[in-house]
Structure 1
Amino acid sequence: MLRLAAFAVTSALAAAAAGPLPPLPLGRLLASPDRLTIAVSDTGNRRVDGEYRLECRPVGGNHPEAGKACARLEEFAKEGKDPFAPEPKRQMCTFQDGGPATARITGTWHGQKVDRTFRRKDGCAITRWNDLEPVLPSARS
């Protein structure tokens, strides 16, 4: 018991002598890792259609471009943007068809639940898809 008390006092004195600890990024420490499931279909390329797991912080999963995909998502975070936010209701979009490609992304990103479907149904949706590459596969001809 005496050894334990001496250890506690010695540890406290050593910590005090070392000075205050640097501020810790508490949000990052408490945040769970990003884990997303990406189901892609009808791209016209059987090699990219399928279901992928993407993990960031640390990078992992079976996504074919996991490192680049996580880096792209981190760019959104640094810019303060949510790539999974709903599409704005009132926006002018070109009437163009980007093909039948569909992607559904579910999971967690920066502590927030994600459940969003992406299609290439008009100019705005095509832009959203392209902005998410390489999280989503390229569907450009």
Structure 2
Amino acid sequence: MLPVVLAAAAVTAVLGPLPDPKPTYGGHPRPQPQEELTLSYVAGAGSAMSVKLTCDPLGGGHPDPAEACAALAGVDGDPGRIKRAGTACILLYKPVTAELTGTWEGRPVSWKQRFGNACEMRRATGVLFRF
């Protein structure tokens, strides 16, 4: 047992202590993602969809996290400030409620809006609820 201890001490003396197994960024602990969001919508008929979205690093179940995160970055995490697209929607009343909850840049966010149909929701929120 003594030879193993001496060998470990010799390696430590030459190479230094073993690195901390926790990932670091610039010598500091790697920060946890600051944007962890849940995007969901529920149709009046009861059908529902939901995805997770992370922006730092990009990920989650959203089909286009880079575009979704860019859209949110442009409005400081507030979907209500997204510029409405000029596309036309049919006048069919099938209400949809969209909701975003989670953390944006380290602060809690919560947004909920009811739309006349899914087309109106996507026109108002851009890529965010296209899943």
Measured against the shorter chain, the TM-score band is 0.5 to 0.7
Aligned to 2:36: 35
1:134 aligns with 2:127: yes
Give, in whole Å, the separation in 1 of the partners of 2:44 and 2:53. Answer: 19
Match of 1:132, SS state, is helix
Report how far residue 66 of structure 1 moved. 1.3
Partner of 1:101: 96
Instruction: State the one-letter code of the partner of 2:125.
Output: L
Structure 1 gap ranges (5+) = 1-28, 86-95
Moved over 2 A (4+): 29-32, 81-85, 96-99, 128-132
On the 8 A contact 1:34/1:57 being kept in 2, the answer is yes
Tell me by how many angstroms 1:82 deviates.
3.5
Identity of aligned residues (%): 28
State the aligned residue count. 90
Query: Match of 1:110, as an amino acid?
Result: E
Secondary structure in 1 aligned to 2:98? Answer: strand
C-alpha offsets along residues 79-137 of structure 1, whole Å, 9 cap, x if unaligned?
xx73358xxxxxxxxxx87631111211011222112212115xxxx5x8634221122
Which ranges of structure 2 fall in alignment gaps of 5 or more residues?
Answer: 1-29, 82-90
Structure 1 30/60 Cα, relative in aligned 2: closer, same or farther at 3 Å? Answer: closer
How big is each residue's C-alpha offset from its partner over 1:34-72, in whole Å with a ceiling of 9 and x where there is no partner?
A: 11011212288x7xx411000002110011221210111
TM-score by length of 1: 0.49
Q: Which has the larger radius of gyration?
A: 2
Which residue number in structure 2 is paired with residue 60 of structure 1?
Answer: 59
Q: Is the 8 A contact 1:84 1:114 kept in 2?
A: no
Corresponding residue number in structure 1 for 2:106: 111
CA contact (8 A) 1:54 1:61 kept: yes
Given that 1:36 and 1:105 are in contact with CA atoms closer than 8 Å, whether structure 2 keeps it comes out as yes
- Go from structure 1 to structure 2 and tell me whether the alpha carbon gap of 1:137 and 1:118 turns closer, same or farther (over 3 Å shift): farther
- Equivalent residue for 2:12? none
Q: 1:82 to 1:39 in 2, by over 3 A?
A: closer
* TM superposition score normalised by structure 2: 0.52
State the SS of the aligned residue for 2:68. Answer: helix
Q: 1:137 to 1:30 in 2, by over 3 A?
A: same
Alignment of structure 1 residues 15-26 onto 2, 5 Å: none
Amino acid corresponding to residue 83 of structure 1 in structure 2: P
